[in-house]
A = this chain, B = another copy of it.
Amino acid sequence: MNFPSKLIEDAVNEMSRLPGIGKKTALRLVLHLLKQKESVTEELSHALLALRKEIKYCQKCHNISDTDVCSICRGVRRDRSIICVVEDIPDVLAIENTSQYQGLYHVLGGVISPIQGIGPDELKIESLMERIRLAETEDKVEEVILALPATMEGDTTSFYITRKLKALNIKVSTIARGIPIGGELEYTDEVTLGRSILTRVNYSAD
């Protein structure tokens, strides 16, 4: 693509480095900004810069945070006896948006993947153990929920963490897998459907 202006070429090139944004989309976004007030571009740029420069990661759960310890870990209404282990930050947001969980989180920052060269030491697994051990004194952790992806890497990580937790005598659970609510049986993939039959649960009509 040839651009009539170096300024627009630079902006399009930078914009198209974002995932899922090609040159044409980047051009559309950049031309949109040109049509808006200058303040729109300023606010966008400043918000991104402020985020990148000032963001912190919670010292306890490694979630993103404005402070050293995140609002969830500091939350007075949070159940400190449960920790939900997730792969990355968007998973925390997704679970939070369900409003069904009141415990704490632990963000691993990935899952074990020998192919990508990610071993347990690259993840915040030791930090999880440390956190559980330290909590022995006051807020004792009683349950760890594994909410990792249903992939080979996710399962490996779940298995690894479960083995490590065994010594600490803590209940370990994993989120339920099965047919999504509202999902149609005939359009569900066979692995999920097969597993949902094998892991069927008791039904009560009460």
How many copies of this chain does one complex carry?
A: 2
Is the CB of A123 closer than 8 A to any CB of chain B? no
Is the CB of A193 closer than 8 A to any CB of chain B? no
Residues on B with C-beta less than 8 A from A8 are: 51, 55, 64
> Quick one: CB contact mask for A1-44 with B, threshold 8 Å, 1 for yes?
11111111011011101111100010111111110001011111
Find out whether the CB atom of B64 lies under 8 angstroms from the CB atom of A6: no
Is the CB of A126 closer than 8 A to any CB of chain B? no
Q: Interface with B: A77-85, A91-99, A129-137, which one?
A: A91-99
Find out whether the CB atom of B66 lies under 8 angstroms from the CB atom of A5: yes
Residues on B with C-beta less than 8 A from A176 are: none
A73 and chain B: residue at smallest CB distance: B4
Q: How far does the alpha carbon of A111 sit from the alpha carbon of B157 in the complex, in Å? A: 58
Is the CB of A63 closer than 8 A to any CB of chain B? yes
Chain A at the B interface: mostly helix, strand, loop or mixed? helix
> Quick one: CB contact mask for A42-53 with B, threshold 8 Å, 1 for yes?
111111111111
The size class of the interface chain A forms with chain B is 35 or more
Is the CB of A102 closer than 8 A to any CB of chain B? no
Q: How far is the CB of A16 from chain B (nearest CB, A)?
A: 10
Is the CB of A72 closer than 8 A to any CB of chain B? yes
Is the CB of A54 closer than 8 A to any CB of chain B? yes
Find out whether the CB atom of B44 lies under 8 angstroms from the CB atom of A4: no
List residues of A (127-163) whose CB comes within 8 Å of B's CBs: none
List residues of A (91-128) whose CB comes within 8 Å of B's CBs: 92-93, 96-97
**Top 5 closest A-B pairs, CB basis?**
A45-B45, A41-B52, A11-B51, A14-B44, A14-B47
